[in-house]
Amino acid sequence: MQLSLGELAQRLGAELIGDADVVIRGVNTLKDATATDVSFLANASYRRQLSDSNAGAVIVGAKEAAEVKGAALIVANPYLSFALVTQMFDNRPQPVHGVHPSVVVAASATLGADVSIAANVVIGEHCVIGDGCEIGANTVIGDHCVLGRDCLLRANVTLYHDVVLGDRVQIHSGAVIGADGFGFAPDKGRWHKIAQLGGVRIGNDVDIGANTCVDRGALADTVIEDNVILDNLIQIGHNVRLGEGSAMAANVGVAGSTTIGKHCTVSGGAGIAGHLTLADGVHVAAMTTISKSITESGAYATGTAQMPLNEWRRSATRFRQLDSMAKRLQQLEKSHEGKA
Amino acid sequence: MQLSLGELAQRLGAELIGDADVVIRGVNTLKDATATDVSFLANASYRRQLSDSNAGAVIVGAKEAAEVKGAALIVANPYLSFALVTQMFDNRPQPVHGVHPSVVVAASATLGADVSIAANVVIGEHCVIGDGCEIGANTVIGDHCVLGRDCLLRANVTLYHDVVLGDRVQIHSGAVIGADGFGFAPDKGRWHKIAQLGGVRIGNDVDIGANTCVDRGALADTVIEDNVILDNLIQIGHNVRLGEGSAMAANVGVAGSTTIGKHCTVSGGAGIAGHLTLADGVHVAAMTTISKSITESGAYATGTAQMPLNEWRRSATRFRQLDSMAKRLQQLEKSHEGKA
Amino acid sequence: MQLSLGELAQRLGAELIGDADVVIRGVNTLKDATATDVSFLANASYRRQLSDSNAGAVIVGAKEAAEVKGAALIVANPYLSFALVTQMFDNRPQPVHGVHPSVVVAASATLGADVSIAANVVIGEHCVIGDGCEIGANTVIGDHCVLGRDCLLRANVTLYHDVVLGDRVQIHSGAVIGADGFGFAPDKGRWHKIAQLGGVRIGNDVDIGANTCVDRGALADTVIEDNVILDNLIQIGHNVRLGEGSAMAANVGVAGSTTIGKHCTVSGGAGIAGHLTLADGVHVAAMTTISKSITESGAYATGTAQMPLNEWRRSATRFRQLDSMAKRLQQLEKSHEGKA
């Protein structure tokens, strides 16, 4: 893959300050880029690296263009343009088109045009696989699943039955979509399973990370709206609804029947209890526990800040005494007022 | 699937108030149910939906029966009856009986009657697969495993060697049972692996969620007793013992050699340190850290409650000063006493 | 497997006090060992079990040797010697050498001598599999991967393309190495994917647990240095670097571009934010949130200590009032000083 700076500027809709004939062969950070690399400045804290970078060209906003040593590609949103450039230089091996002879496809399944289905994939009854889909080796797709156009399922993905994906959905290895929600009725000290009769509906342009789980609904479906992005090792419980454009980092858990609004972000390791509603534009800090619904957009947190272990022990001991401390403080205040 | 209300009442042991000939074709919530659906009231907070529900019949306790608009099915434990009804209306695709030609079964393995073994399953030497077991596509079962009757392993499950399951055990996709416990001896700045010589023993009626890990024991076995239910993405360390009827929600971790009593519940994201003992009937709140043994049944928690991020920052700063605050409070109290 | 005590002493470099001809057939704890078992004392809290143990021999330090009832194997580091003994008595089923007929190997891949490749494994183009490697059933290895000598990949592992492993790397089932890092550029309310162009480089003697994820780098590689040990269900983000000999327990998450020093330990459930640097020899307590870089070795923690739920609620309520409490305390102090 190579592109002249002129072509690159054209594809990005960028203003080029520099030689349009220079050839670009890769993308790299300001620090590591060489004369055949394009780099980018999307975070002001790297701005002082501009003058030292050996990059053949740098994608920048108009304000920083003068500080670029080599060629500058001036755009409105440098981070977006960087994303587009990584897609141009994507080095992911291209799949072999067609269906590998080891694939097991049910007779009633329908495969679209231009699909690539790798070794040992298993596709169940009545599945519909859209045009241009790519399915990695050893992935299993249950009965009655529908994949839209240009979906990309990597190796070792599992879709249970009745999972519907929109277009351009990407699912990473080890992800499990449609496993039973965690529903059991207790009776006389024993748990009785509630069969999970709903499915999973996933919109367009959704990205699901490795080993992430999205459970099927108990009665209605679990729903992930368009353009939701989920990192690895996330748990999405049954009948959760994730609003359009929301993003979750790794190790997050969302318990059953919770609805999360549009354009929310949940940082790594956070946990959100069940049967809650989070408004649009809520941002949950890393490792935070959300146990009540949130009606106002904004950022929320729980926990404490890092301390050396010995100091932490003292604070943690006092935390147990907090109610007593508060009451004693009130007592002193009263007594002080009495005297004043 | 369809049932008359009369049949349904009989199967549930319910008292029917209504027309026994009405035909029920599905299960749904009070809000979404139609005239051919049965619904249920198990949670008092939905009680006011009774009068608006279009459900053909509602499973209720005796107290709420008069408020049901359509037919009422009166039972002692409506949630349990709901669970039984979901099982009656379970729409999970039924497996093809027999062994798919792509399955690789070791010569010394024994398969019971009426098993269903899907494509690309691999079964190791000396395994015994009980009658009526169903094993999903691409699942791998190591040597010397024993599955009781009517176990259900979904697609892409992994059992290492020497894993013993009771009857009616269900294991979801991506779960890994019997991987090595995390045991290493440090010496001169290097880690030396402790081979994990134990296995895993799982009782009857156990349910294990997607991508959950249960490690094999170091010397003795890791043990999960009857009717334990585990949600997704849970880590059970080596030589843990989980007591009968205990339940854990997603993202929980239990470190090695901890024993958890019977009928405990652990909410999502909680972590339990190693070498602890938790009594029967302990309930651990979501995202809680348990670092000491618990001898009394009851509920336990750690952490703080959610706050807007800016307010949280102030509390978190003060948390670091708590020990100093406590001492200053004592000082003031002393000084106040001196004056009083 | 059996060894005379004389042979065992020789292999461990131990001083034997007892009969060299006694035959040892297994390893067990002090409590459960019988006359044909070797046991060990590595933790002082089990010392009083020495006098009751029926073990045929016990591995101990010189100080405790006199308390051993049976034979004693005196060594400098009993826990290390125990590790070596477990390796001698390892009962893991040995793989069938060679390549199972169901394996799909790309024509351009190279397999070393003495490899064992189990059923349904898929190996991509240009892969190089080192001598003595063992690959478990249904594992998928993407294009351009390199495995050093004597690597052990268990069943259902996924390696994406451009993953390089050193020698003696062990990867457990469900682990996913090289999935896309979580990189997206926001623009006008939509997420645009940043193609992840880097790979993953893993050193020698690394152990990676079940369902653990190590993401590929965005531009440069994600790097795991020699002798790092990772437990199950861990998330390692893109461009993370883990220093030599560091260890992480289950459910830990490390966000992108963080560098962790050598010989660090991270306990279970901890989360480490992105773009941080942790010095060598840092120890992170269980369930801790690290949100700032750490320049000094030592132990760090966040959170609070376990409490009965009702007491915890009171402390948690007061935590929200902490800033106000601190200010009121200052006010009282000022007012008190004014009077003193």
In a domain, B333, yes or no: yes
Number of domains, chain C: 3
In a domain, B93, yes or no: no
Evaluate if residue A291 carries a pLDDT over 70: yes
If residue B10 lies in a helix (H) or strand (E), which one and from where to where? helix B5-12
In a domain, C71, yes or no: yes
Out of A142, A219, A233, whose CB is closest to B233? A233
Out of B138, B211, B294, whose CB is closest to C174? B211
Q: Sort out which chain B residues have CB atoms less than 8 A from A183's CB and list them.
A: 83
Low-confidence ranges of chain B (pLDDT < 70): 340
Q: What is the dihedral of CA C92, C93, C99, C102, to 10 degrees?
A: -110
Contact status of B227 with chain A (Cβ, < 8 Å):
yes
**ipTM score of complex:** 0.97
- The alpha carbon of residue A26 is apart from the nearest alpha carbon of chain C, in Å, by 10
Q: Are residues A164 and A230 in the same domain?
A: yes
Helix (H, G, I), strand (E, B) or coil at B278: strand
Predicted confidence band at A336 (pLDDT cuts at 50, 70, 90)? confident
Evaluate if residue A235 carries a pLDDT over 70: yes
Say what the pLDDT of residue C317 is.
97
Q: Are residues C50 and C107 in the same domain?
A: no
Evaluate if residue C340 carries a pLDDT over 70: no
Q: Sort out which chain B residues have CB atoms less than 8 A from C309's CB and list them.
A: 283, 285, 298-301
Q: Sort out which chain B residues have CB atoms less than 8 A from A288's CB and list them.
A: 306
Longest Cα–Cα distance of chain C, Å, equals 91
Q: Are residues C26 and C70 in the same domain?
A: yes
Name the residue of chain A whose CA is nearest to C329's CA: A329
- The alpha carbon of residue A293 is apart from the nearest alpha carbon of chain C, in Å, by 17
Contact status of C168 with chain B (Cβ, < 8 Å):
no
Q: Sort out which chain C residues have CB atoms less than 8 A from B184's CB and list them.
A: 83, 207, 229, 247
Q: Do A253 and B245 lie within an 8 Å CB cutoff?
A: no
Residue-number span of the structural domain to which C48 is assigned: 3-88
In a domain, C93, yes or no: no
Residue C256 structure tokens: 């992108």
Give the domain CATH number at B264. 2.160.10.10
Say if CB B271 and CB A266 are below 8 A apart. Answer: no
Q: Are residues B192 and B262 in the same domain?
A: yes
Q: Are residues C123 and C262 in the same domain?
A: yes
Q: Are residues B210 and B153 in the same domain?
A: yes
- Closest alpha carbon to B136 in A126, A290, A286, C156: C156
Name the residue of chain C whose CA is nearest to A262's CA: C189
Say what the pLDDT of residue C338 is.
75
Predicted confidence band at C337 (pLDDT cuts at 50, 70, 90)? confident
Q: Do B27 and A219 lie within an 8 Å CB cutoff?
A: yes
In a domain, A172, yes or no: yes
| Mean pLDDT to the nearest integer, A5-19 | 97
Tell me the pLDDT of chain A averaged across its residues: 97
Binding-face residues of A in 57-116 toward B, CB within 8 A: 102, 104
Say what the pLDDT of residue A80 is.
98
Side-chain-facing half-sphere of A226: CA atoms under 13 Å: 6
Q: Sort out which chain C residues have CB atoms less than 8 A from B193's CB and list them.
A: 83, 87, 170, 207
Say what the pLDDT of residue A274 is.
98
What does DSSP say about strands B71-74 and B15-17: parallel, antiparallel, or unpaired? antiparallel
Contact status of B28 with chain A (Cβ, < 8 Å):
yes
Query: Which listed residue (A192, A238, A283, A336) is catalytic?
Result: A238
Q: Are residues C46 and C159 in the same domain?
A: no
Q: Do B320 and A319 lie within an 8 Å CB cutoff?
A: no
Evaluate if residue A340 carries a pLDDT over 70: no
Catalytic residue at A238?
yes
* A68: phi then psi, degrees, rounded to nearest 5: -75, 130
Say what the pLDDT of residue C25 is.
97
End position of a domain, from candidates C57, C88, C119: C88
In a domain, A93, yes or no: no
Q: In this predicted model, what pLDDT tens digit does every residue of A125-166 receive, in sequence order?
A: 999 999 999 999 999 999 999 999 999 999 999 999 999 999
Q: What percent of chain C has pLDDT over 70?
A: 99
B60 Cβ contact list (under 8 Å, min separation 6):
B40, B41, B50, B67, B68, B72, B73, B74, B75, B78
Q: Are residues C272 and C196 in the same domain?
A: yes
In a domain, A286, yes or no: yes
Evaluate if residue C90 carries a pLDDT over 80: yes
Q: Do C299 and A316 lie within an 8 Å CB cutoff?
A: no
Name the residue of chain B whose CA is nearest to A162's CA: B92
Query: Which listed residue (C238, C263, C275, C283) is catalytic?
Result: C238
Evaluate if residue A185 carries a pLDDT over 70: yes
Distance CA B2, CA B5 (A): 10
Helix (H, G, I), strand (E, B) or coil at B9: helix
Give the domain CATH number at B29. 3.40.1390.10
Q: Which residues of B are catalytic?
A: 238
Out of A158, A283, A301, whose CB is closest to B155? A158
Q: Do A191 and B305 lie within an 8 Å CB cutoff?
A: no
Q: Are residues A294 and A319 in the same domain?
A: no
Q: Are residues A12 and A117 in the same domain?
A: no
H helix intervals, B241-321: 309-320
Q: What percent of chain A has pLDDT over 70?
A: 99
Out of A245, A269, A306, whose CB is closest to C190? A245
Beta strand extents in B80-228 (DSSP E only): 98-99, 104-105, 110-111, 116-117, 122-123, 128-129, 134-135, 140-141, 146-147, 152-153, 158-159, 163-165, 170-171, 176-177, 184-187, 190-193, 200-202, 207-208, 213-214, 222-224
End position of a domain, from candidates A70, A88, A106: A88
End position of a domain, from candidates A64, A88, A112: A88
Q: In this predicted model, what pLDDT tens digit does every residue of B136-153 receive, in sequence order?
A: 999 999 999 999 999 999
Q: Sort out which chain A residues have CB atoms less than 8 A from B172's CB and list them.
A: 176, 179-180
Evaluate if residue C9 carries a pLDDT over 80: yes
Evaluate if residue A265 carries a pLDDT over 80: yes
Q: Are residues B242 and B111 in the same domain?
A: yes
Q: Are residues C327 and C283 in the same domain?
A: no
In a domain, C173, yes or no: yes
